[in-house]
């Protein structure tokens, strides 16, 4: 019979675990703020006093729940070495929300005639509503997580998220690094040395923390000497931005805005469910047997609470639980992280820290995250499915090109929009790239799934997946012919965009017919 564990719940490794988990969350919040404020011109007060408190609340509640689960497991099994499941903001979907949903929506609202403040409020409501939608999806799927995992091949799930990682989480921050190469490249080198090459830093300092400190020191030292030119900005004055994350119904005003972004929002939630299943299995293999449904429910409820209270980025259990266990962390590190992040969102010191740290110092962490996710997509799937993983990257690449070319500083908006109305000489190349990139996460899942079926010799299953792709194309869930990537009824479109819909849907249908015939031929041969 097991006796209750009466030992310390705060182990010597909890400090390292706390620093690592804290910096992970700060880097994501830092990129979220920098992308919205620096890249899209978002009002800082909306980000720091409306978005951050609710977002940080989700991290607080989730980590408190996971800390309690770890203590309960330790008491039940009479052990002292139980390590809590780490929880924080999800890097791929948080960055995806900033670059693919919130930023473009803010620009769209301003183009529609709203002033910057009104557009920011509408975008905030969209972000809250998106989080509520993802939270509801995760709550429902938490009871069917195993079924989801069985029907969507791992190559499709990991390949789609790896595509986001490679071109959005990795490439775009790499550009930011090279805008201040002396600062950013130094930090990137430290991250690669400590986390990729797995070399020990002096005094056992965590690699992420060392990279950020080095980047900040170089930025302010070189900047104060005038060696960084216009890339240097003096530190902002410290401000106390007190804001309680009270529940609000303002997210209801953003529900209608979520419709064009559902092809992005829903896969974001689905990926977190499957990710939660995977990390629970990982923790179980490391010796901590958490109940999968409990892990998923906490994740879903933390996301819902954040959305109800103004948050715009979803929480997720991190995949590094065995790593935290190996460094000696128990359940104290999640408690400390939750309190520091949650209270920081309320009292505003997180926003001050983020304003002090330049993006070039944070971006190396995101490049490492991108590398890790991309490598995992290949390592966690059988080698024979590697072509399916690689094939799933192309829609994400198209989306990145569209993000850049839709910037009015590159291509005039009128010229960009006119390309969809001129098919006299075939489908214009830019229109093809845009249509391929719209709904790219689901497209990547469909593409990888049908290639996996082909590799397994299941041509008829591949044909059925392609028929699903054709149906999704008809309604703009993937390959939307609207610039914003919205959904629609095909018969309500104008002639030129409707022709694009028929051609893309017809492509899926034709290949499905061919594969069906090939499957019949194979059966006859057998």
pLDDT tens by residue, 195-209: 888 898 988 787 878
Q: What is the pLDDT of residues 418-449, one digit of tens each?
A: 666 555 566 778 888 889 988 888 898 899 99
Please determine, for residue 4, whether its predicted confidence score (pLDDT) is greater than 50: no
- Report residue 307's pLDDT band, with 50, 70 and 90 as the boundaries: very high
Please determine, for residue 168, whether its predicted confidence score (pLDDT) is greater than 60: yes
Residue 339 is predicted with a pLDDT of 95
Output the six-digit token pair for 28: 């994501």
Q: Return d(Cα 134, Cα 18) in angstroms, integer.
A: 27
Q: Return d(Cα 72, Cα 515) in angstroms, integer.
A: 53
pTM: 0.76
Spacing of C-alpha 300 from chain mean position:
15
User: Which percentage of the chain shows pLDDT scores above 90?
Assistant: 40
What residue ranges do the domains of the chain occupy? 14-198+219-228+247-381, 388-525
Residue 125: CB atoms within 10 A of its CB come to 24
Would you list the DSSP string of 318-378? -TTHHHHHHTT--SHHHHHHHHHHHHHHHHSHHHHHHHHS-HHHHHHHHHHHHHHHHHHHH
Please determine, for residue 100, whether its predicted confidence score (pLDDT) is greater than 70: yes
- Mean pLDDT of all residues in the chain? 85
Q: Return d(Cα 37, Cα 41) in angstroms, integer.
A: 5
Residue 484 is predicted with a pLDDT of 66
Output the six-digit token pair for 275: 């990710």
- Report residue 271's pLDDT band, with 50, 70 and 90 as the boundaries: confident
Q: Return d(Cα 103, Cα 407) in angstroms, integer.
A: 12
Most confident of 23-27, 171-175, 292-296, 334-338: 334-338
Please determine, for residue 2, whether its predicted confidence score (pLDDT) is greater than 60: no
- Let me know: does 223 contact 361? Beta carbons within 8 Å: no
Residue 521: CB atoms within 10 A of its CB come to 11
Residue 3 is predicted with a pLDDT of 44
Backbone angles phi, psi at 5, to 5 degrees: -75, 125
Mean pLDDT, residues 466-493: 87
- Report residue 215's pLDDT band, with 50, 70 and 90 as the boundaries: very high
Mean pLDDT, residues 390-416: 78
Residue 488: CB atoms within 10 A of its CB come to 18
Please determine, for residue 487, whether its predicted confidence score (pLDDT) is greater than 90: no
- Let me know: does 102 contact 36? Beta carbons within 8 Å: yes
Would you list the DSSP string of 451-468? HHHHHTT-HHHHHHHHHH
- Report residue 146's pLDDT band, with 50, 70 and 90 as the boundaries: low
3-state secondary structure of 88: strand
Q: Return d(Cα 498, Cα 490) in angstroms, integer.
A: 6
Output the six-digit token pair for 432: 């093809």
- Let me know: does 280 contact 293? Beta carbons within 8 Å: no
Q: Return d(Cα 388, Cα 238) in angstroms, integer.
A: 50
Residue 254 is predicted with a pLDDT of 94
> How does DSSP classify residue 248?
-
């Amino acid at each position: 019979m097991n006796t209750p564990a009466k030992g310390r719940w705060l182990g010597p490794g909890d400090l390292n675990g706390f620093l690592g988990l804290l910096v992970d969350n700060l880097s994501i919040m830092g990129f979220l703020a920098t992308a919205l404020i620096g890249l899209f011109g978002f009002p800082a007060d909306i980000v720091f006093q409306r978005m951050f408190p609710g977002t940080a609340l989700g991290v607080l509640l989730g980590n408190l729940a996971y800390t309690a689960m770890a203590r309960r497991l330790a008491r039940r099994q009479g052990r002292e070495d139980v390590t809590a499941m780490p929880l924080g903001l999800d890097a791929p979907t948080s960055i995806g929300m900033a670059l693919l949903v919130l930023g473009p929506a803010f620009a769209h609202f301003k183009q529609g005639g709203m002033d910057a403040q009104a557009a920011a409020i509408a975008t905030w409501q969209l972000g809250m509503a998106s989080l509520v939608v993802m939270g509801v999806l995760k709550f429902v799927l938490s009871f069917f997580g195993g079924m989801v995992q069985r029907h969507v091949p791992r190559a499709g799930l990991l390949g789609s998220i790896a595509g986001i990682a490679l071109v959005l989480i990795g490439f775009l921050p790499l550009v930011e690094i090279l805008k201040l190469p002396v600062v950013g490249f130094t930090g990137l080198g430290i991250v690669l040395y400590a986390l990729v090459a797995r070399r020990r830093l002096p005094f056992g300092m965590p690699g992420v923390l060392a990279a950020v400190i080095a980047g900040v020191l170089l930025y302010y030292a070189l900047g104060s000497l005038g060696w960084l030119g216009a890339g240097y900005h003096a530190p902002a004055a410290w401000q106390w931005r007190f804001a309680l994350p009270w529940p609000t119904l303002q997210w209801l005003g953003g529900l209608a805005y979520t419709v064009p972004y559902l092809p992005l929002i829903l896969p974001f939630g689905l990926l977190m469910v499957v990710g939660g299943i995977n990390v629970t299995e990982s923790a179980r293999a490391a010796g901590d047997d958490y109940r999968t449904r409990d892990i998923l429910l906490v994740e879903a409820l933390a996301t819902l609470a954040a959305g109800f209270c103004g948050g715009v980025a979803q929480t997720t259990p991190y995949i590094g639980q065995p790593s935290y266990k190996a460094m000696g962390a128990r359940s104290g590190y999640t408690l400390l992280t939750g309190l520091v992040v949650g209270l920081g969102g309320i009292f505003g010191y997180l926003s001050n820290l983020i304003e002090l740290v330049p993006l070039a110092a944070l971006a190396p962490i995101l490049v490492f995250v991108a590398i890790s996710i991309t490598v995992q997509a290949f390592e966690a799937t059988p080698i024979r499915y590697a072509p399916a993983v690689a094939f799933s990257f192309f829609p994400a690449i198209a989306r990145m090109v569209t993000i850049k070319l839709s910037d009015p500083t590159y291509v005039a908006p009128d010229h960009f929009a006119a390309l969809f109305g001129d098919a006299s000489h075939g489908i214009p190349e830019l229109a093809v790239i845009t249509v391929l990139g719209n709904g790219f996460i689901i497209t990547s899942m469909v593409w990888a799934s049908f290639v996996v079926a082909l590799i397994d010799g299941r041509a008829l299953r591949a044909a059925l997946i392609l028929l699903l792709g054709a149906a999704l194309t008809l309604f703009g869930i993937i390959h939307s012919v609207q610039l914003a990537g919205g959904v629609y009824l095909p018969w309500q479109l104008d002639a030129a965009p409707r022709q694009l819909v028929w051609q893309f849907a017809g492509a899926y249908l034709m290949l499905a017919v061919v594969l069906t015939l090939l499957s019949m031929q194979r059966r006859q041969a057998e």
